[in-house]
Amino acid sequence: MSFSSGESPEKLEKKVQRIHDKCLTVDTHCDTPMQMIRPGFNIRNEHKAPKSRVDLPRMETGGLDAMFFAAFTGQKPRTEENYSKAYSIANQMIDSLHSAVSHNSEFATLALKANDLGNIEKTGKRAVYIGMENGFPLAKDITRVEEYYKKGVRYITLCHSYHNDICDSSSDAKPAEHNGVSEFGKLVIAEMNRLGMMVDVSHASDKSFFDVLEFSKAPVIASHSSVRAIAKHNRNMTDEMIKKLAEKGGVIQICLLDDYIKEPDTTMVKFRRMKLLHEKYRQADKMTESEREALSKEWNEVEAMNPEELPTTKDLVDHIDHVKNLVGIDYVGIGSDFDGGGGLRDCADVSQFPNITRELVRRGYSEKEIRKIWGENLLRVFSEVEKYAKKTSNYHDKLVAKTVQKD
Ligand SMILES: [Zn+2]
């Protein structure tokens, strides 16, 4: 580990601030839209962690230029009723993002393209990108991919904690349903490629991951996953997966969730209580509204327990080091999972993002490398995805023109 030698703390601090300010900073995953659809939450107001980890004032404090806000729906049994509920919740979240941007146009702008970020950053405003976590709301209707693209969604995390119509999940206890990506999943990936949406492999099973890499014509992202060689968890990526992802030009956005950063101490009360809560959460769809509220209150309580035991930005940067040593600096970034479980001891919300930059500087990362981690790598993938879409639409247009000529 090489520390910037001989620098005074003041000098180091100035350097950290200068580099952090110069970076185009992107966080590829938060679940804040879940809070945004609850009455009383206003993204314009400053809130406090751990209850809330993302809002516009704290994005500004933390020098965060862009956030991908994910419209998240939990995977439920695939009944007609649940499909339509998921569709309506996802739409509610997307609508709430559009309305938050239009009500706060002096602070934030909706971003749709990779190069929008640079332009928005120059205005001093925050860029709001939209992602979708779990393809459940597609409800086996391929036309919905384009419908969501038109609503501004620029990535879809193919699945969540259970298998769905698209692919097998990394967290489902049941045996694989599709042995990776389904036939419908292949169509979804092709449609996302055609439109210029990033395919997100976070939450997908290992076999689903390798299938996606085979089927996708454009590079893919893991919007919030960490390194399995450091923290053994199915949600994290093995070295073999990271190598394959990099080979295809993709990027792994390291997730700030404690168990994905450091293996938990299973003897701790917090671990045991969290495990019980996870079991309760699986039954959440059968609960009454007040039972669900009590569960969420207890969840917040347990999550806030013993914050001094949480991993730190040092542990996080170990993951970045690992990816850099394995495949190089071009394939790693940050996806916090704030408001969805992410949060470290010294990076509990977006306002504390400079702490990550400080640790990178302390370890001797150059400004160029830090810029790549904070946004350039992700923007490169996003641009490649757009380029592929443009190429196919040109090809499609030519094909149509040819057919018309023949007639
Ligand atoms: Zn997630």
Question: Which tens digit of pLDDT belongs to each residue from 138-156?
Answer: 999 999 999 999 999 999 9
Q: Are 318 and 230 in contact (CB under 8 A)?
A: yes
Per-residue pLDDT reduced to its tens digit, 101-126: 999 999 999 999 999 999 999 999 99
Residues with Cβ within 8 Å of residue 30, at least 6 apart in sequence: 53, 54, 67, 68, 69, 70, 336, 337, 338, 339, 340, 342
Q: How far is it, in rounded angstroms, from Cα 102 to Cα 124?
A: 16
Cα 225 to middle of ligand 1, angstroms:
8
Looking at residue 394, what is its pLDDT?
79
CA 287 to chain centre: 28
Burial of 321 (0-12, 13-18, 19+ CB in 10 A): middle
pLDDT > 90 in the chain, percent:
81
Q: Are 200 and 221 in contact (CB under 8 A)?
A: yes
Element (H, E) at 64: none
Cα 37 to middle of ligand 1, angstroms:
18
Confidence band of 4 (pLDDT split at 50, 70, 90): low
DSSP code per residue over 284-303: GGGS-HHHHHHHHHHHHHHH
* Mean pLDDT over each residue of the chain, to the nearest integer: 94
Cα 316 to middle of ligand 1, angstroms:
17
Cα 252 to middle of ligand 1, angstroms:
14
Per-residue pLDDT reduced to its tens digit, 288-308: 888 888 888 888 888 888 778
Cα 140 to middle of ligand 1, angstroms:
21
Cα 106 to middle of ligand 1, angstroms:
30
Angle at 338 between CA 263 and CA 56, to 5 degrees: 155
Q: Which amino acid is at 362?
A: R
Cα 208 to middle of ligand 1, angstroms:
16
Q: How far is it, in rounded angstroms, from Cα 277 to Cα 297?
A: 11
Higher pLDDT, 367 or 2: 367
Q: How far is it, in rounded angstroms, from Cα 10 to Cα 3?
A: 15
Cα 207 to middle of ligand 1, angstroms:
18
Cα 341 to middle of ligand 1, angstroms:
8
Residues with Cβ within 8 Å of residue 104, at least 6 apart in sequence: 43, 44, 56
Cα 160 to middle of ligand 1, angstroms:
7
Of 55, 235, 30, 11, give the one whose Cα is nearest residue 130: 30
Cα 50 to middle of ligand 1, angstroms:
17
Least confident of 172-176, 181-185, 266-270, 293-297: 266-270
Cα 159 to middle of ligand 1, angstroms:
9
Cα 7 to middle of ligand 1, angstroms:
39
Per-residue pLDDT reduced to its tens digit, 382-402: 999 999 999 988 777 777 777
Q: Are 68 and 117 in contact (CB under 8 A)?
A: no
2 has pLDDT over 50: no
Say if pTM beats, i.e. exceeds, 0.85: yes
Tokens at residue 93, please?
Answer: 């979240």
Cα 203 to middle of ligand 1, angstroms:
7
Of 68, 63, 67, 66, give the one whose Cα is nearest residue 22: 63
Cα 240 to middle of ligand 1, angstroms:
21
Nearest-Å Rg of the Cα atoms of the chain is 21
Cα 12 to middle of ligand 1, angstroms:
34
Looking at residue 1, what is its pLDDT?
45
Looking at residue 168, what is its pLDDT?
98
Higher pLDDT, 242 or 287: 242
DSSP 334: E
Per-residue pLDDT reduced to its tens digit, 241-279: 999 999 999 999 999 999 999 998 888 888 888 888 888
Residue 361 backbone dihedrals phi, psi, to 5 degrees: -65, -45
Cα 295 to middle of ligand 1, angstroms:
19
Residues with Cβ within 8 Å of residue 327, at least 6 apart in sequence: 242, 243, 246
Looking at residue 271, what is its pLDDT?
84
Higher pLDDT, 305 or 66: 66
378 has pLDDT over 50: yes
Cα 400 to middle of ligand 1, angstroms:
40
Of 221, 142, 229, 147, give the one whose Cα is nearest residue 187: 142
Tokens at residue 134, please?
Answer: 């779990």
